[in-house]
Structure 1
Amino acid sequence: MTLTRIVPLLLAILWGFNWPAVKIGLSEVPPFALRMVGLGVGALLLALVAWAIGRSMGVPRRSWGPLLIAGVFNIAGFNLATVFAQLTTSTSRAAVLTFTTPLWAVLFAWLFLGERLDRYRWMALGIGLAGVAVLSAPLLSGEIRPLGILFPMLAAVSWAIGTVYQKANPIGGDRVAVTAYQLLIASAVAGVGFVIAGETLPTSVSMPVAWALLFHVVGATAIAYLLWFLLLDRSTAGTAALATFSIPVVGVLGAMALVGDRPSGLDYVGFAAILAAAGVTLFAPQPRPD
Structure 2
Amino acid sequence: MNATAGPAWALLAGASLWGIVWYPYRLLAQAGLDGIWSTAITYGIAAVVGGAIFFRHWRGMLASPWLVAAMGLSIGWSNLAYVLAVLEGEVMRVLLLFYLAPLWTVPIAWLLLDERLDRRGVFAMTLAFGGAATMLWRPELGFPWPETRADWLAGVAGFLFALGNVLVRKIDNVSDAGKSIAIWLGVTIAAAVHIPWSDATLMDAVAVADWPIAWGIGLALVAMSLAMQYGLSRLPANRAIVILLFELPVAVFAAWLLADEVPRAKDYLGGLFIVGATLVTTLRPRSAPPAEP
Scaled to the shorter chain, the TM-score interval is 0.7 to 0.9
Of 37, 41, 56 in structure 2, the residue corresponding to residue 33 of structure 1 is 37
Corresponding residue of 1:160 = 162
> Is the 8 Å Cα contact of residues 46 and 177 (structure 1) preserved in structure 2?
no
After superposition, the Cα gap between the structure-2 partners of 1:271 and 1:204, relative to the gap in structure 1 and judged at 3 Å, is same
Q: Distance in 2 between matches of 1:157 and 1:39?
A: 20
* Larger RCO (CA within 8 A; separation ≥ 6): 1
The aligned amino acid for 2:200 is E
Corresponding residue of 1:48 = 52
Matches within 5 A, 1:75-86: 76-86=76-86
TM-score w.r.t. length of structure 2: 0.84
Corresponding residue of 1:7 = 10
Matches within 5 A, 1:1-290: 2-28=5-31, 29-51=33-55, 55-59=56-60, 61-74=62-75, 76-138=76-138, 140=140, 145-172=147-174, 174-200=175-201, 201=205, 203-204=207-208, 210-211=212-213, 213-219=214-220, 221-282=221-282, 284-286=283-285
Q: Distance in 1 between matches of 2:278 and 2:178?
A: 30
After superposition, the Cα gap between the structure-2 partners of 1:92 and 1:214, relative to the gap in structure 1 and judged at 3 Å, is farther
**SS at 1:26 equivalent:** helix
After superposition, the Cα gap between the structure-2 partners of 1:249 and 1:103, relative to the gap in structure 1 and judged at 3 Å, is farther
| Number of residues of Structure 1 aligned to a counterpart in Structure 2 | 278
Consecutive unaligned residues of structure 1, counting only runs of 5 or more, are none
**SS at 1:199 equivalent:** coil
Q: Distance in 2 between matches of 1:266 and 1:232?
A: 32
**SS at 1:203 equivalent:** helix
Q: Distance in 1 between matches of 2:138 and 2:252?
A: 18
The aligned amino acid for 2:51 is A
- Identical aligned residues as a percent: 22
> Is the 8 Å Cα contact of residues 7 and 230 (structure 2) preserved in structure 1?
no
Q: Distance in 2 between matches of 1:205 and 1:57?
A: 29
Consecutive unaligned residues of structure 2, counting only runs of 5 or more, are 288-293
After superposition, the Cα gap between the structure-2 partners of 1:66 and 1:111, relative to the gap in structure 1 and judged at 3 Å, is closer
Corresponding residue of 2:290 = none
The aligned amino acid for 2:285 is Q
TM-score w.r.t. length of structure 1: 0.85
Return the offset for 1:168. Answer: 2.7
Return the offset for 1:31. Answer: 1.2
Q: Distance in 2 between matches of 1:24 and 1:137?
A: 31
Q: Distance in 1 between matches of 2:169 and 2:269?
A: 33
Q: Distance in 2 between matches of 1:144 and 1:109?
A: 25
1:29-77 deviation per Cα after TM superposition (whole angstroms, max 9, x unaligned)? 21110110111101112123225xxx44322534221111111002x11
